[in-house]
Chain A
Amino acid sequence: MENSVCHYDWCYVSGRVNVLECNLLGVNFFEKLLSSDDFKDMLMNLSGTPLKAYFPHVKHLYEFETLLDDYYYSRLYEIRLLSPDSAVCDFFLIKNDFLNLKKFIKSKAFGTGIDNFYRGIINKNTWDDLWHGKETSLPEMFKELVSCIRKVIMSHSQNRIPPYPAMQKGVINDSPFEKGGQGGFVVPSQKWMKERVQSITSPVSPPLQGGDEGGGKKESLSFIIDLIFDGAYLRYIEGIYNKIDTRIIKRYLKTYQLVKGLEVIRRAMALRLDMNLLNQYFLEGLNQDHLFRKLAKNIAWSPEGTLREILVEAHCNAPLQGLLSNVSGKISFRYEVVSDDYLLDMLRSVKCIPFGPERVFGYLCGLTTEVFNLKLVLGGKVHRIENSLLKERLRKTYV
């Protein structure tokens, strides 16, 4: 948080957020929505909420994702505009920019088209300037990231995968994972990762493009780019952590980074992924004494059943100990649910703070969770998923 921004400057947006919190949907609403199988019932339920304005003449629910995105991003941009310091809102938006950058880079590397960009804060045309080395107003971290990936792509095209050029320690670097969990945060699926692992571990690297062999190489490069972005995004979170002064938000970001990093390591462990890949592309740039390094270094690949014990042991002093202890048996999707719930629980106390960035941050997390839950339930209903499966994946609500 910039020093020029006074705590009192948050009063206006906090007052607005205070009222908007009343519009957030509670757990009862989602249970009601789950119990209704009829399309008309669901629309009637939605019409009794602030979402009514976004579902005006909807004939079916297939377009729900677009409508919910309209709702979510209009709120987010509005609050960002009113906030004295946009850093709080940027946390929720900039991950989309990194996803967009990743899409853009992959499109350049593989010559594929881009279906659509997510809504972020950086103009899409800027990526092209950045890629061509033109002067842009983007932070240095983006330039470094693009430069590093260019080197990897070039080296990859020459049939050798170089170590990921280490970024300067302490420099803020960015990059998101993928969309999916709370806040649009996504980690690659196990199946997806398996496919890429197989392609990477292939002894002969085929040419970058063209023919059947090109597909394997393309996939391995794509996977490496993902790993680089994953690691960079976690370092970016560390950068935000250092910039923000608010204690609760700092604690949240620290845990968020931990949770998401563990998610990547957990999946890698489950897939018996080659540790060198993680070291080269994911862990590179992190401090030598970073927890992720400790985890990756000391832990031999273990059956997923014992992962919980390993993580709990490694986090004996970390706030996640309690979280991990609650995950019984094999860590599966429950880890994502429990960790998202845990993160949101961390912010519940900010509702008692009358004004400040933490109040706004808490609301935005609540809004993000709400939209995630809505997408889950509506998407599940559209695709006729069992209620029990949807229910156990529902995240706790903020209100």
Chain B
Amino acid sequence: MIELLKFYFIQTGFGWVIIGAITVVTLSCLGSAKGILIASSQAAGVLSEKPELFGKMLVLMALPGTQGFYGFICAIMIALRTGLIGGKINVSTSVGVSIFLVAVCMGIVEYLTAVTQGRAATSAINLTGKQPEEGGRAILIPALVETYAVIALLISILLITWLTKEGGLSFTSTTLDLPSF
């Protein structure tokens, strides 16, 4: 067991990469779920009085869900770039730790923006509930929060790409086979 841990976390950065990918997906999806919970609960309250607004509410309810997808994209990106999917390890420990940190930061940002977007969506839902004709403009309120989730995703993709490219930070071009359990 100790040998295995040494291989995954000290000899290579493979273990860090796996934990990073899991973290970013977990945080993002949790944030999205919470954001959607907030927005959809509020929307359900409005719809109980004005069911005709369902179409307008649907967009507002779904908006906090995008962060979960961003986390998923980031995790896929990590897996593709580090050989996680191919089964060939080509990351050093320093790269693995760096990717782990990127993933954690990305996860935190996605979590917080999803929850914040859910809260912003409630304001938009309230506005739409009171003035349905303002529904189009109301979408802008939570959409502005989305900007920062997108920025976090873009930066994460750029950093992962830079960290894992040949000649990047402590990149090792030699690939190792996964040890057998």
Binding site for B on A (CB under 8 A): 8-9, 11-22, 354-355
Contacts and interface: CB of A to CB of B under 8 A. Distances in A.
Interface stretch (B18-26, B38-46, B79-87): B38-46
The interface residues of chain A, by DSSP majority, are classed as helix
Interface residues of B, number: 20
A16 B49 contact: yes
A133 to B, nearest CB: 44
16 contacts: A9-B41, A12-B44, A14-B42, A14-B45, A15-B43, A15-B45, A15-B46, A15-B126, A17-B45, A18-B45, A19-B45, A19-B129, A20-B49, A22-B129, A355-B38, A355-B122
Contacts of A12: 41-42, 44-45
A11 B41 contact: yes
Contacts of A21: 130
B44 to A, nearest CB: 5
Contact of B49 (A8, A9, A19, A354): A19
A246 B64 CA distance: 26
Interface string B116-156: 00010011011001100000000000000000000000000
A71 to B, nearest CB: 16
A11 B123 contact: no
The interface residues of chain B, by DSSP majority, are classed as helix
B180 interface: no
Contacts of A16: 45-46, 48-49
B129 A11 contact: no
Contacts of A20: 49
Interface of B: 34, 37-38, 41-50, 119, 122-123, 125-126, 129-130
A22 B48 contact: no
Contacts of B123: 354
Contact of A15 (B34, B37, B119, B125): B125
A18 B37 CA distance: 18
Nearest to B118: A8
Given A11-B38, A15-B125, A355-B122, A22 B45 contact: no
Determine which residue in A15, A16, A354 has the highest number of CB atoms from chain B within 10 A of its CB, and name it: A15
A355 B119 CA distance: 9
A15 B42 contact: yes
A11 B130 contact: no
A65 B155 CA distance: 64
Nearest to A17: B45
Contacts of B125: 15, 18, 354
A355 B38 CA distance: 9
A331 B122 CA distance: 44
Contacts of B119: 354
Contacts of B130: 18-19, 21-22
Contacts of B49: 16, 19-20
Contacts of A8: 34, 37-38, 41
Contacts of A17: 45
Given A11-B122, A15-B45, 19 more contacts: A8-B37, A11-B42, A12-B42, A12-B44, A13-B45, A14-B42, A15-B126, A16-B46, A16-B48, A18-B126, A18-B130, A19-B46, A19-B49, A19-B129, A22-B129, A354-B119, A354-B122, A354-B123, A354-B125
